[in-house]
């Protein structure tokens, strides 16, 4: 099962798909991104797109109006400020419109960096498994970084997201109960 950030030919496509995946199912995000990247195969082209054209394409994703603005502004900044090359630096990434802590970390881990992106699945499962009791994703991230060796941080998000998407409700509870047996 492919996740939204995975399988793109260029880093900027991974970042845009991660931005779009917030509060949207990966299947929808991937389909929308396929259409978006087909119409705008280069970041420079996307940076010159009309806002309404982007909105029309990404309408199936949640918060498409805000995400459209962020995609357009982010694309322009990356083209102009970073010469069309995404920085692989957390602090620089979070200065981009629409890129917060989770998006930056998911993107960086997809690029092979040792980071943990805390999304809904990671947050929820970290609590169910007793790995964190914190109510803020940034604190959950810190707890997970203490728990896991650095060389597997980039695997935490994809593994937990796939588990969370595959097993839901009672089935998930049964599996977790079995895992957590004393």
Pick the closest to residue 102 from 74, 84, 121 (CA basis). Answer: 121
For residue 48, what are the domain limits? Answer: 1-113
Give the total number of structural domains in the chain. Answer: 2
**Contact 37/13 with Cβ under 8 angstroms?**
yes
Last residue of some domain: 83, 113, 143?
Answer: 113
Per-residue pLDDT at 131:
97
The CATH number of whichever domain residue 82 belongs to comes to: 1.10.340.30
Per-residue pLDDT at 47:
98
* Beta-carbon contacts of residue 96 (< 8 Å; ≥ 6 apart): 74, 77, 78
Write b or e for each residue in 15-54: b if 16 or more Cβ atoms lie within 10 A of its Cβ, otherwise e. Answer: bbbbbbbbebebebbbebbeebbeebeebeebbebeeeeb
Last residue of some domain: 82, 113, 144?
Answer: 113
Q: Which residues of the chain have pLDDT under 50?
A: none
**Does one domain contain both 2 and 86?**
yes
Per-residue pLDDT at 78:
98
Cα–Cα dist 157/21, whole Å: 14
**Contact 98/61 with Cβ under 8 angstroms?**
no
Angle at 85 between CA 90 and CA 103, to 5 degrees: 35
Per-residue pLDDT at 1:
87
**Does one domain contain both 76 and 157?**
no
**Does one domain contain both 100 and 128?**
no
Cα–Cα dist 71/15, whole Å: 10
**Does one domain contain both 2 and 46?**
yes
* Beta-carbon contacts of residue 72 (< 8 Å; ≥ 6 apart): 46, 47, 49, 51, 54
């Amino acid at each position: 099962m492919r996740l939204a950030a995975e399988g793109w030919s260029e880093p900027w496509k991974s970042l845009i798909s991660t931005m779009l995946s917030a509060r949207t199912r990966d299947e929808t995000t991937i389909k929308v991104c396929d259409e978006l990247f087909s119409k705008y195969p280069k970041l420079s082209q996307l940076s010159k797109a009309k806002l309404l054209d982007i909105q029309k394409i990404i309408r199936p994703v949640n918060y498409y109006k805000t995400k459209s603005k962020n995609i357009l502004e982010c694309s322009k900044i990356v083209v102009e400020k970073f010469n069309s090359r995404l920085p692989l630096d957390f602090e620089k990434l979070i200065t981009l419109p629409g890129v917060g802590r989770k998006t930056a970390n998911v993107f960086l881990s997809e690029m092979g960096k040792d980071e943990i992106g805390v999304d809904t699945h990671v947050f929820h499962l970290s609590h169910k498994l007793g790995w964190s009791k914190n109510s803020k994703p940034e604190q959950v991230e810190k707890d997970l970084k203490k728990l896991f060796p650095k060389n597997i941080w980039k695997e935490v998000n994809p593994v937990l997201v796939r588990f969370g998407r595959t097993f839901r409700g009672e089935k998930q509870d049964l599996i977790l109960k079995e895992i957590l047996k004393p």
